[in-house]
Amino acid sequence: MKIGFIGDIVGKPGRNIIAQNLQRLRNEHSLDLVIANYENASHGFGLTLRNCQELFATGIDLMTGGNHSFDKKEIYPLFENYPLIRPVNYPAKAPGEGMKIVTVGSADVAVINLMGHYTMPLADNPFTMIERIIDDLEARGIRHIIIDMHAEASSEKRALLYMLKERVSAIFGTHTHVGTDDLQVVDGCAYVTDVGLTGCRDNVIGMGADVPIARFTTGIGGHFDIPDDCRSILQMIVSEIDDTGRAINACKIKLYDDDSEGVTEARIESATGSE
């Protein structure tokens, strides 16, 4: 099977470039499942009903969240009516679920949303919790496991890779909005520290530059806003996963608003070195 994963969708520019291109990308890359991160989709913070419906209409199958999952309170009932998840290690009383199992062909695929500790809201330990979850999935015979690791610290994401690389199909990092240059398949696990945002690319992490610059130069914050007019980018990881749940290969697609496109192939690593 082939799975596409889109990182943090930031506001209207991100939603627009997905609407304009995702169906074509699904067809060109024969994608069986498309996952995307919604937590910044509605003007940079959270998700509204209207934007939720808009994004699912583009061809996205399931969406993951993060520390901004609950910024728009209208998301609460959406968890029951749409294939949305939020970080699994939020306290148990938080609305929604942190994992969904979907059927792709003849395989059950577990999609898990996990949130790191550093600079993040109150949450349970992601590392001890994920081990229990993987134990349970393996006991149920589920081997196709995709994790969105929503974390600030790259060390947390790398540690998760080396904890779970022989037990999960893919770990895709989100949250920083800045794509990293380390896409690889390690012992059958597709991995990237951060997929990077889908939205404005000519500013500061998808938001207008004025407020961040003022904050850094004066110490005074302000309301982050998304420009009405900007240059945009769509960033997506495509990974092929075999019948046993092992990633065979992966690539990163960077599609720009001028219709130019770049594709970077993952480095394939094994226990004995690169291949």
Contact (CB, 8 A) for 165 and 189: yes
Report pLDDT for 229.
87
2-199+231-274: CATH homologous superfamily?
Metallo-dependent phosphatases (3.60.21.10)
Instruction: List active site positions.
Output: 68
Q: Which residues of the chain have pLDDT under 70?
A: 271-275
Contact (CB, 8 A) for 241 and 31: no
Task: Kindly calculate the radius of gyration of the chain based on its CA atoms and give it in whole angstroms.
Answer: 18
Coil, strand, or helix at residue 16? helix
Domain boundaries, the chain: 2-199+231-274
Report pLDDT for 151.
98
Q: Residue 202: CB partners within 8 Å, gap ≥ 6?
A: 230, 231
Coil, strand, or helix at residue 248? strand
Residues 13-65 pLDDT 10s: 999 999 999 999 999 999 999 999 999 999 999 999 999 999 999 999 999 99
**Token pair recorded at residue 64:** 């993951």
**Token pair recorded at residue 221:** 């914050």
Coil, strand, or helix at residue 120? coil
